[in-house]
Structure 1
């Protein structure tokens, strides 16, 4: 079995522990935490599994990597600490590990990644013999393998639209929601995630990958943005109060332009409460969904809803993103050292996992 480490126990890390435990080819070897209060706690408890896994969490990164684990699921955030995340991942690669992570957006499309991200990774791969697969935002498959699969079901394709439609009131990551995305902030505040060119940095790689798979040349990548204020003060279960007049909803697109028209589009429609921007697209269950629309003949529309961790509705998207990454580990271990993207790594059936309850 492949000795696998989960590094981080937040929204993504909890799902990663469960996914590794459920995978018949993997063995959970260690769990790395940053918070000393979590040190020594059993991985099963941290992941919300109703049994102990016999793996106590540790803050000792050096000791874990010195044991030369075959794989690392890097689940720590890279949103506000990209340099630290890159350093961590390179440490794991130099230890010879297969690394899968959603943390480094520029490396989703590694062929076009900035040198400051790509070069250290290539050097670490050459030194240690590890490999890296980065994917996962929104939740990875929704902006690459699923739309490409669906495009092959039609006779003609005029445009591809990938949507994330989400109510953040169920989310449990306040720093990202308030600071990065700007919910509850004054309308004159410019959230880091919405600064011009940042959406393209995060999602442009997926637009380029889809264009590459479809055999088309992009004229350009463009961005659009709309914001709406809250019309009344609302209180959320997980993050407290958001005041009337502050930002309550955002809608933006990252558009791949082909022949002067937006043909490959990744769109986000995000609210802090269902009452804000009710005229914008809404998810079927009111909480969250991922949707792919293939405009052409025939027109194809597929909406995916995933639930996990009870009322934390964001957890379903996290869990499917993690499932894609963890499910790739054994393939990557066989494929050998290198830098991989979503077009390289096949999406495979859940062999050996049918009926494996974690209750």
Structure 2
């Protein structure tokens, strides 16, 4: 890789994470923002800098994929809410590598065979590669897990706990209507667990295959726990006896034995009826084997700055992965087969 290489990058979508990525690419010392795709007609024609809180960049937003395809670009940071396989195949076939926060490409063997074939053919035509990553899944389920497991010669179980205290989020619709906090206690909606199973199950399955214990079964389960007392959070009131916490567990098994699991612990109060040992937001990774370790990660940020902080957790690793993906062999790449992602600060 040339030491003075400047990577030409297109940002695709400007949601919460996409806007953070856009700002970081525009400020990156070794990247040049050359294009911006947006879904909202209201953003079309506006300068990229205006859309991410910077001075004008000279790059105008477009929702025409033809305009993006015509650009001379090394990579597209693809961060929409859904995956458009037609658009992705067109981007890859046009010679543009893709790094995405969409979780569809963590473990190619688990992809729909027809979709996988389309993507691989587009990569072959364009001489390009595509890589799914982010913070969770991605960093914590793959990039961090690999060095922890490298300390062992007998592996029993890796457990990754994610803790998310959402009490400071002033988003009543998301917390109460969509997620179901403050709702009467009822059986867990298994569809929620199945939703997480797609991204996290494939990410863990990538790791399982890499360590020689391929997952032959992936389970998804969920639990709810009630708040013990009334609590006031930023979004409103959570009465005692209603949903105060939820836990979703994705487990990969090899020959009937659990080997990898991810637990999403989301809560609005730690004072709940179950002993889940909730702690402040972050991750805990625990290995069980002949050399067990436990690693706790916290986010040392004030509550008032939390909303501005969290998008970077997801947006920054894809940006840092651009150079490695651009020089990788064509095809669907994974954390296991890519070199270590090393950030460029100068």
2:115 pairs with one of 112, 117, 123: 117
- Report the counterpart of residue 164 of structure 2 in structure 1: 166
Matched, 1:208 2:212: no
For 1:9 and 1:235, how far apart are their aligned partners in 2? Answer: 32
For 1:176 and 1:337, how far apart are their aligned partners in 2? Answer: 39
Contact 2:321 2:342 in 1 (8 A): no
- Report the counterpart of residue 215 of structure 2 in structure 1: 218
Structure 1: which 5+ residue stretches go unaligned? 355-359
Contact 1:180 1:192 in 2 (8 A): no
Relative to structure 1, is the Cα distance of residues 111 and 261 closer, same or farther in structure 2, using a 3 angstrom cutoff? closer
Relative to structure 1, is the Cα distance of residues 318 and 156 closer, same or farther in structure 2, using a 3 angstrom cutoff? farther
Deviations 1:206-235 (A, max 9, x none): 221121221124342223321124556656
- Report the counterpart of residue 14 of structure 1 in structure 2: 19
1:1-359 alignment runs, 5 A limit = 1-49=6-54, 51-78=55-82, 82=83, 85-103=84-102, 105-136=103-134, 138-154=136-152, 156-170=154-168, 177=175, 181-185=179-183, 187-188=185-186, 194-195=192-193, 197-230=194-227, 236-237=233-234, 240-241=235-236, 243-244=238-239, 246-258=242-254, 260-276=256-272, 279-283=275-279, 286=280, 288-306=281-299, 311=304, 313=306, 316-351=309-344, 353=345
Contact 1:228 1:277 in 2 (8 A): yes
Contact 2:38 2:62 in 1 (8 A): yes
Relative to structure 1, is the Cα distance of residues 97 and 177 closer, same or farther in structure 2, using a 3 angstrom cutoff? farther
DSSP 3-state at the match of 2:327: helix
For 2:136 and 2:216, how far apart are their aligned partners in 1? Answer: 24
Contact 2:228 2:273 in 1 (8 A): no
For 2:48 and 2:302, how far apart are their aligned partners in 1? Answer: 16
For 2:308 and 2:340, how far apart are their aligned partners in 1? Answer: 20
Structure 2: which 5+ residue stretches go unaligned? 1-5
For 2:192 and 2:106, how far apart are their aligned partners in 1? Answer: 19
Contact 1:221 1:256 in 2 (8 A): yes
Relative to structure 1, is the Cα distance of residues 122 and 173 closer, same or farther in structure 2, using a 3 angstrom cutoff? farther
Contact 1:235 1:241 in 2 (8 A): yes
Q: What is the aligned residue count?
A: 340
Deviation at 1:40, TM superposition (A): 4.2
Contact 2:97 2:325 in 1 (8 A): yes
DSSP 3-state at the match of 1:121: helix
Larger radius of gyration, structure 1 or 2? 2
TM-score, normalised by the number of residues in structure 2: 0.83
For 2:303 and 2:46, how far apart are their aligned partners in 1? Answer: 22
Deviations 1:213-258 (A, max 9, x none): 2112434222332112455665654xx3365365432112111223
Contact 1:106 1:117 in 2 (8 A): no
Deviation at 1:334, TM superposition (A): 1.7
- Report the counterpart of residue 3 of structure 2 in structure 1: none
Relative to structure 1, is the Cα distance of residues 218 and 122 closer, same or farther in structure 2, using a 3 angstrom cutoff? closer
Cα RMSD (Å)? 3.2
- Report the counterpart of residue 357 of structure 1 in structure 2: none
Deviation at 1:35, TM superposition (A): 2.3
Contact 1:90 1:124 in 2 (8 A): yes
For 2:146 and 2:96, how far apart are their aligned partners in 1? Answer: 29
Contact 1:181 1:193 in 2 (8 A): no
